[in-house]
Amino acid sequence: MTFSIVARSADGRLHGVAVASKFLAAGALVPAAEAEVGAVATQAHVNLAYRPQGLALLRTGVAAPDVVAGLVAADPGRDDRQLGVVGATGDGATWTGPRCHPWAGDGWAAQGNILAGPHVIDAVRDAWLGGAGLPFPQRLLAALHAGDRAGGDRRGRQSAGLLVVERHGGYAGTGDTVVDLRVDDHPDPVTELGRLLDTHTLLFGKPDPATLRDLAGPLADDVAALLAAVGHPVGPAGLDDALASWAGVENLEERLVPGRIDPIVLDHLRRTAPHVPAARTGD
């Protein structure tokens, strides 16, 4: 009913799971991950106990293949289960029944059942291996998209989920959850998950220092005019304060840098005030 990929980033800092299924809210059941520990995907006849037990074993240094072996050995229902595990180091590991299709390699494992065919997991594998240049959440999603385009769950589409963790990688550095997005019931859930990830990246992605622009001269004047047009005029506290006031409304505060502006923030500000010309900025 499901196909998924569980993986670790090349630098070992991020762990995540991407899943799609003809099943309501698969993202609420399949994935689990802990920063600097690993990630687990349980599917087919889901055993929710695999998630805390698997992470507990990984936390003590047990390798992913041994985690899989230990969990399924103790489970009388193992013949109806499917499991993927990635630890902090080493290869990923997977358990799957005779009608399911797995692949596993260095830092990743993919698995599926009730699929359009074994080529679905082949597509997930190929997209994962070919996506090394993508940011980690987008790489997981690309692998999921590839499996979906290859036919995915042969019963159809309903839900998808994406979970990514990194130590202090969450909102404002106050947690470890980088991405936790779910599409619980949708006719095209993987595409919708991609839309949500794009929005998440816009709102919560970190600015690229190489692209930041100084808020000075004509650019500062244009930003002030844009802010005034959207109801946040520059007051005695200055341009940074007015920009922060507007960004708080738009949920873009994670992209603010005092004295500078992220081009993504600038573009969004222009879209919200399209009647204000930007010719003086040289763009």
Name residue 260's amino acid. Answer: R
For the entire predicted model, the pTM comes to: 0.89
Q: Is 252 exposed, middle or buried (0-12, 13-18, 19+ CB in 10 A)?
A: buried
Q: Quote the CA–CA distance of 201 and 181 in Å, as a whole number.
A: 12
Alpha helices in 89-151 (DSSP H): 119-130, 136-149
Q: How many residues does the chain have?
A: 283
Phi, psi angle pair for 164, to nearest 5°: -135, 135
Give the C-alpha distances (Å, rounded to integers) separating 137 from 32, 92, 129, 173, 201. 15, 18, 14, 17, 10
Q: Quote the CA–CA distance of 68 and 40 in Å, as a whole number.
A: 10
Q: Quote the CA–CA distance of 105 and 114 in Å, as a whole number.
A: 22
DSSP secondary structure letters along 149-185: HTT-BTT---EEEEEEEETT-SGGGSSSEEEEEEE-S
- Tens digits of per-residue pLDDT, 8-56? 999 999 999 999 999 999 999 999 999 999 999 999 889 999 999 999 9
Helix (H, G, I), strand (E, B) or coil at 258: coil
Q: How do the pLDDT tens digits run along the chain, 283 residues long?
A: 689 999 999 999 999 999 999 999 999 999 999 999 999 999 988 999 999 999 999 999 999 999 999 999 999 888 888 999 999 999 999 998 665 556 667 799 998 887 777 788 889 999 999 999 999 999 999 999 999 999 887 788 999 999 999 999 999 899 999 999 999 999 999 999 999 999 999 999 989 999 999 999 999 999 999 999 999 999 999 999 999 999 999 999 999 999 999 999 999 999 998 776 654 544 5
Longest pairwise C-alpha distance within the chain: 70
Q: Quote the CA–CA distance of 145 and 147 in Å, as a whole number.
A: 5
Nearest CA among 114, 61, 12 for reference residue 70 = 61
Q: Quote the CA–CA distance of 58 and 67 in Å, as a whole number.
A: 7
Q: Quote the CA–CA distance of 207 and 265 in Å, as a whole number.
A: 9
Residue for token pair 């597509």: 123
Which tokens in the block code for residue 259?
A: 């004295």
Is 130 within 8 Å of 138 (Cβ atoms)? no
